[in-house]
Amino acid sequence: MWGDIPLFLWRVILASCDFVEPISGFRCGDKKNLTKIVINFPNEITPTVRHACKKHGDDRFRYLSASEEKLTKQKDHHKISYTEFAEKIKPIRWNRCRRCNGNFEDTEIVCCLEYYWLKETRVSMRRSFLLHEDCTNSELKFFTKQDVIQNMTLEQALKE
């Protein structure tokens, strides 16, 4: 029975939310309604893959797509025309970092962060974002355990 399950489904079955709560330092670990986040660094062959539950994945997704959502709302409420929308969306999608809204320089390393929907029988792309390398590393910190310093006295800090 279990031997008939394809490899890509095993990855979906075994995956859990990798998001680490910044305050407590604990990993979420939820296994329901996962989002797959693929991070492509241009100088690495293998992409970095992280999973997030609906709560944590959607929060980061909304943050990264806020500028595009704002323009889309203006277009949908007929505050700007479609041609004006098309002209304003191009630099947001291709020339700006989605995290810091800074423009990309010619010499900067640009990384691609892709969000996917994970369903039991399929994986479909939600959206991709371009980020500076340091902004991408900052996003990755949400998925790595950080040492939480609690009630440390000055003497203890000096010993370390």
- In tens, the pLDDT along 36-51 reads 889 999 999 999 998 8
Residue 93 in domain: no
The DSSP output letter for 4 is G
Taking the C-alpha atoms of residue 118 and residue 143, their distance in angstroms, rounded to an integer, is 18
In a domain, residue 153? The reply is no
Does 152 map to a domain? Answer: no
Q: From CA 114, how far away is CA 107, in angstroms rounded?
A: 22
User: Is 49 within a domain?
Assistant: yes
Give the mean model confidence (pLDDT) for residues 135-149.
Answer: 77
- Checking if the pLDDT of 87 tops 90, the result is yes
CB 18 within 8 A of CB 52: yes
pLDDT bin (cut points 50, 70, 90) of residue 13 is low
- The whole model's pTM is what? 0.76
- 3-state SS, residue 151: coil
158 belongs to a structural domain: no
Residues 102-116: pLDDT tens digits?
A: 898 888 899 999 998
40 inside domain: yes
Q: Which residues contact 128 (CB under 8 A, 6 or more apart)?
A: 112, 113, 114, 115
**What is the domain extent for residue 34?**
2-63+102-146
Number of folded domains in the chain?
1
Beta bridge partners of 111: 131
Mean pLDDT computed over 72-76: 91
User: Per-residue confidence at 54, pLDDT binned at 50, 70, 90?
Assistant: confident
Has residue 106 been placed in a domain?
A: yes
pLDDT band (50, 70, 90) for residue 151 = low
**Sign of the dihedral through C-alpha 107, 68, 21, 154:** positive
| Residue 6, in any domain of the structure | yes
